[in-house]
Chains A and B, each alone.
Chain A
Amino acid sequence: MKIEKAILAAITTHKDEVGGGVPVFFCKETAQMEFIAANLEAILDGIAHRLSDTLYIIVKH
């Protein structure tokens, strides 16, 4: 099955910002968050979108 428009993962430094059924990666600092987002983007073939300074999501388009 081809997945279209789905949030594959969320990466955040603020635990309170995300919840629910999506895989969440908690990070200690912004640099680590960007590093994980860049890696996940490559691994998952998705695009890393920034919703706020403390929250990234990986979306499959």
Chain B
Amino acid sequence: MADEGWQQQRGGAVVNEYTYPILLGITAGTGIRLLLLRTDYRQYPTYLHGKIIHLSLGLIAAALGTLAVPSIMEKEFTAVTFLTLAASQFREVRNMERNTLSELDSYELVPRGNTYIEGIAVAFESRNYLVIFTSFVVTFAYLAFNVWVALGCVVAAIITSKLLMHGATLKEIVTIENSPLYFEGAGLYIDQIYIMNIGLPERQKEILEYGMGFVLTPKNFNVRSTIANLGQRQAILHDVSVSLGVYRDSGTPALVPLIKRDLSDGRIGVFLLPQDNDIQRAIDVIGAVPVLENAIRMPSEKDNSK
């Protein structure tokens, strides 16, 4: 008798009205997470175990988003409270990313900087919310309409995620020009922007031989404060060093890529020491540096008309 009851229960649980919607919701959510887990020249998150962590968390997020729908339909409204649990769980993701990257940062020849790390951590957290949202919508569409509407929602979710997760890059907000480095006495300059004092003649020779200079001119007033942000500048130096290599070692503080600002017009002078002295490539890489959301300022939003 007990066996029969178990059989019945089991038979009921294997395929019921919610099974396929839940499966589709979880698959769609995890798929979105996989899609957003890109690896590019910045070499993050290529770390293999990091990938597994994020896929697993994506799966959990997808399950949470999906299961909320049947819970509501079964009038189990309190079940939605576990979404708050999810929120605290994914804040943990942000902490985890921040801690890992900060630990690694102290051993980089050209560090990422805290602003960049914070931006990456926030992106990781928000991607999990996108997964929850996708799974929720897809499952809901399946249950409320049919599988085709649900599949349509998957496509829409992919497109919105791509749009939402694609931030601006530097080439959209500044013009990038190559400009020669030169010394005036001991001072190193790029297009009249003072970079640093290099005393030793042999260091000066090295810098003129290996160094490259670029001037980034802001396209409008808002951009001035964005590129003045020290975190944004460090992000530029880090990304370029990752892509083009860097001519320095520990214990050579004089050979350090630097960015200084022209106070009068907001241009910044980028002094680089790449191992690959390809000017066009350097311009491309600088142009592809993400505009950090923490560095964006909108002074022009202040209403000036009185």
Contacts and interface: CB of A to CB of B under 8 A. Distances in A.
Nearest to B251: A45
Given A49-B186, A50-B185, A50-B186, A37 B251 contact: no
Nearest to B186: A50
Interface string A26-61: 000000001001100110011111110000100001
Contacts of B219: none
Interface residues of B, number: 14
Contacts, number: 40
A46 B185 CA distance: 20
A46 B197 CA distance: 12
- Chain B interface mostly: loop
A38 B201 CA distance: 10
A49 B197 CA distance: 6
Top 10 nearest A-B pairs (CB, nearest first) are A50-B199, A50-B186, A48-B199, A49-B197, A47-B254, A49-B199, A48-B200, A47-B253, A56-B199, A45-B251
30 contacts: A34-B200, A34-B201, A34-B202, A37-B199, A37-B200, A38-B200, A38-B202, A38-B203, A41-B254, A42-B251, A42-B252, A45-B253, A46-B253, A47-B199, A47-B253, A47-B254, A48-B199, A48-B203, A48-B254, A49-B186, A49-B197, A49-B199, A50-B185, A50-B197, A50-B198, A50-B199, A50-B200, A56-B199, A56-B200, A61-B253
Interface of A: 34, 37-38, 41-42, 45-51, 56, 61
Interface of B: 185-186, 196-203, 251-254
